[in-house]
């Protein structure tokens, strides 16, 4: 995979949507972003993503865990006076990172849960116990829906991406283990 080529495509896509100089760093995207308000702009800063992309530095964002904090609420896009598609840009970068095997473990677990149960968060035993106490039936697991999702995952190579993420994580753990065994020396 040629990461630089993909990053150029993402930049070109952004340029087709808006004049690349249209972001005048007003900070409206940051002010509108609920995640930035929650974590603080020093932690999550949508404008930084636009700036890095415009300056050809988006590769530095691919391994950043904060790239995955975007909720895709599109508040940044809705509030931007220049209509810079920040949320779409973030999604493109997430997709590129994912294709490289860079995806947080919790997202992988959530996707696997969806493919297995049809739920992002499978119903817990506690929830079903409480439902039983209230005279309600247990929350059903939609295996049929999960099977449909599995077909989509297969058609879109999602399973391959998940395996790539797991392989990358195993390689990182192995490298860390080797480093620790060697006393931190290379």
DSSP string, 95-163: HHHHHTT---HHHHHHHHHHHHHS-SSPPPHHHHHHHHHTTPPPPPP-HHHHHHHHHHHHHTTHHHHHH
User: Can you give the pLDDT at residue 5?
Assistant: 83
User: Can you give the pLDDT at residue 183?
Assistant: 61
The pLDDT profile of the chain, 186 residues, written as one tens digit per residue, is 677 888 888 777 777 776 656 788 888 999 999 999 999 888 888 999 988 888 888 888 988 999 999 999 999 999 999 888 899 989 989 988 888 888 898 888 888 888 888 888 778 889 999 999 999 999 877 677 778 888 888 888 888 888 888 888 888 888 888 887 776 554
Residue ranges per structural domain of the chain: 3-99, 105-181
Separation of CA 56 from chain center: 20
Q: pTM for the complete prediction?
A: 0.74
CA separation, residue 28 to residues 21, 47, 90, 94 (Å): 16, 9, 16, 22
Report the candidate in 145, 139, 91 with the shortest Cα–Cα distance to residue 114: 145
Q: Give the C-alpha separation, 105 to 123, whole Å.
A: 20
Q: How far apart are the first and last CA of the chain?
A: 28
Separation of CA 164 from chain center: 15
68: which 2 tokens? 């995955």
**Domain 3-99: which CATH class?**
mainly alpha
User: Can you give the pLDDT at residue 169?
Assistant: 85
């Amino acid at each position: 995979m040629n990461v630089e080529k993909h990053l150029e495509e993402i930049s070109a896509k952004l340029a087709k949507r808006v004049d690349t100089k249209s972001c005048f760093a007003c900070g409206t995207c940051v002010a509108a972003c609920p995640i930035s308000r929650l974590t603080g702009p020093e932690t999550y800063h949508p404008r930084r993503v636009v700036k890095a992309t415009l300056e050809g530095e988006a590769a530095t964002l691919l391994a950043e865990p904060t790239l995955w904090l975007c909720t895709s609420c599109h508040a940044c896009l809705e509030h931007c006076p220049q209509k810079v598609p920040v949320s779409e840009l973030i999604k493109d970068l997430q997709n590129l990172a994912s294709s490289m095997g860079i995806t947080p473990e919790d997202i992988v677990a959530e996707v696997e849960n969806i493919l297995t149960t049809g739920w992002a968060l499978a119903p817990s035993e506690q929830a079903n116990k409480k439902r039983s106490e209230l005279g309600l039936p247990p929350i059903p697991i939609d295996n049929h829906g999960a099977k449909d999702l599995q077909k989509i995952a297969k058609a879109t190579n999602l399973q391959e991406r998940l395996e790539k993420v797991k392989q990358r994580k195993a390689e990182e753990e192995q490298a860390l283990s080797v480093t620790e065994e060697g006393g931190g020396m290379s």
